[in-house]
Amino acid sequence: MADSEGEKKRVVVIGGGVAGSLIARSLQDEANVTLIDMKEYFEIPWAALRSMCDPSFAKRAVFSHSEYLPHGNVITSAAANITDTEVVTAKGDKVAYDFAVIATGHSETGAYTKDEKFSQYQTDHQKIKSASSILIIGGGQTGVELAAEIAVDYPDKKVTIVHRGSMLLEFIGESASNKVVHWLKSRKVEIILGQSVDVNSAKDGVYKTSGGQTIDAECHFICIGKPIGSGWLKETVLKGSLDIHGRLMVDSDLKVKGRSNVFGIGDITDIPELKLGYLAQRHAGITAKNIRLLMKNANDNNLNVYKPALPLSLIALGKKEAVAQFYCLSCIGRLPGMIKSGDLFVGRTRKQLGLLSELQ
């Protein structure tokens, strides 16, 4: 989409996760798109736990940004600052923008190259494979899905979940949570609620909970929430656009409050809904439409509005089963598993980014 002088508008996307990758892909032929991400690759996040148990799965779920962004620019660096006119990276690049999209989700550490990520999966796989007992700290979606993957693939291993909350999967209803607890316990997974574990105090494979219980485990995985990826914004022109939780405040058209050409999408936003991948993709779709409208007419006031989604949750329980929650209704087993658990939406996500669903 060219301006009156025939030059494409400059769109800078900060963050190459679920939302950032999709909007960069969507606009690369109509604008001069630059993607800034600290990693050289995109990882389909809901495939990560399967990749820990089966590293070969990662070959389809991890790919370079350049694969889906052949007509865009990729800068491998963290963002350090944003002004009214440009984004500054930690490496010192200064990238001018007509539109900026902030999609830095949650803070990430380590594995900045594909090779490092594949190596990390191999290491995790060896830990799981060689251990007879495994401790999982955190009973949200990540902890539950990892426990389920291990319980299905390695039914002889002793798996223990320790969760500080009063129920697993607190974001879904009690009925669905109870179904998952029953499913896990039927596969001999031990669940300890209302307690935490200090892994640094573990000695000789013995972990102690805050309630005084001891757990024998040959390895552990920490599956608790990551910090919101907004720390880099706190000393920028957008510091006043962060709420008390560090989330980026956005209007219904997904523009950052008080800004006409800066958008916020994905988990970093203050939208009152569950932070789920398919919702981040919806943010990207709405924002791409709005930027196209603004590239045609900077004064367009008829932008698309994002409406927080209905509460639909799907939690994979190994390769064939899952639990689904929609409003107050829940079901568990093969039927919801047919929707998600086999491929974990990897083929679909690859197609959305213009890639073949299967490797050639």
If DSSP codes are grouped into helix, strand and coil, which group holds residue 46? helix
Is the pTM here over 0.85, yes or no?
yes
In a domain, 65, yes or no: no
Contact criterion met (CB below 8 Å) for 66 and 37: no
pLDDT exceeds 90 at position 241: yes
How far apart CA 312 and CA 202 sit, in angstroms, is: 38
pLDDT exceeds 60 at position 2: no
Tell me the average pLDDT of the chain.
95
Q: Which pLDDT score, from 0 to 100, does residue 225 have? A: 86
In a domain, 360, yes or no: no
Q: What percent of the chain has pLDDT over 70?
A: 98
290-297 long-range contacts (CB < 8 A, ≥24 apart) are 290/253, 290/254, 290/255, 290/263, 291/11, 291/27, 291/31, 291/99, 291/101, 291/263, 292/1, 292/27, 292/30, 294/99, 294/261, 295/1, 295/3, 295/9, 295/30, 295/31, 295/98, 295/99, 296/1
Same domain membership, residue 298 and residue 279: yes
In a domain, 2, yes or no: no
Q: What is the mean pLDDT of residues 86-100?
A: 98
Same domain membership, residue 153 and residue 83: no
Q: What is the mean pLDDT of residues 3-7?
A: 60
How far apart CA 317 and CA 337 sit, in angstroms, is: 8
Q: Which pLDDT score, from 0 to 100, does residue 359 have? A: 78
Q: Which pLDDT score, from 0 to 100, does residue 81 have? A: 98
Q: What is the mean pLDDT of residues 107-122?
A: 93
> CATH code at 233?
3.50.50.60
For 337, residues 6+ apart whose C-beta sits below 8 A from its C-beta are 316, 317, 318, 319, 320, 321, 322
The tally of domains found in the chain comes to 2
How far apart CA 84 and CA 203 sit, in angstroms, is: 52
Instruction: Name the band, by pLDDT with cuts 50, 70 and 90, for residue 360.
Output: low
Q: Which pLDDT score, from 0 to 100, does residue 4 have? A: 46
In a domain, 280, yes or no: yes
What pLDDT, in 10s, does the model give residues 41-62?
Answer: 999 999 999 999 999 999 999 9
Q: What tokens were used for 240?
A: 């006043």
Q: What is the mean pLDDT of residues 259-271?
A: 97
Chain centre to alpha carbon of residue 205: 31
In a domain, 200, yes or no: yes
Same domain membership, residue 204 and residue 333: yes
Same domain membership, residue 203 and residue 144: yes
How far apart CA 207 and CA 203 sit, in angstroms, is: 7
In a domain, 97, yes or no: yes
3-state helix, strand, coil in the chain (%, to 5): 35, 25, 40
What pLDDT, in 10s, does the model give residues 308-320?
Answer: 877 789 999 999 9
Same domain membership, residue 325 and residue 218: yes
Same domain membership, residue 154 and residue 23: no
Same domain membership, residue 236 and residue 197: no
How many other β-carbons are positioned within 10 Å of the β-carbon of residue 258? 12
In a domain, 72, yes or no: no
Sign of CA dihedral 72, 78, 80, 82: positive
Contact criterion met (CB below 8 Å) for 20 and 266: yes
What pLDDT, in 10s, does the model give residues 320-348?
Answer: 999 999 888 999 999 999 999 999 999 99
Q: Which pLDDT score, from 0 to 100, does residue 1 have? A: 46
What pLDDT, in 10s, does the model give residues 6-32?
Answer: 689 999 999 999 999 999 999 999 999
Residue 243 lies in domain: 10-38+77-108+226-309
Q: Which pLDDT score, from 0 to 100, does residue 6 have? A: 66
> Which alpha helices (DSSP H) does 28-140 contain, by range?
48-53, 58-61, 65-68, 114-130
Same domain membership, residue 296 and residue 319: no
pLDDT exceeds 70 at position 76: yes
Q: What is the mean pLDDT of residues 264-273?
A: 96
In a domain, 333, yes or no: yes
What pLDDT, in 10s, does the model give residues 142-174?
Answer: 999 999 999 999 999 999 999 999 999 998 889
Same domain membership, residue 193 and residue 146: yes
Chain length of the chain: 360
Same domain membership, residue 153 and residue 199: yes
Structural domain ending residue among the three candidates 309, 325, 355: 309
Same domain membership, residue 320 and residue 197: yes
What pLDDT, in 10s, does the model give residues 172-206?
Answer: 889 999 999 999 999 999 999 999 999 998 999 99
Same domain membership, residue 230 and residue 217: no
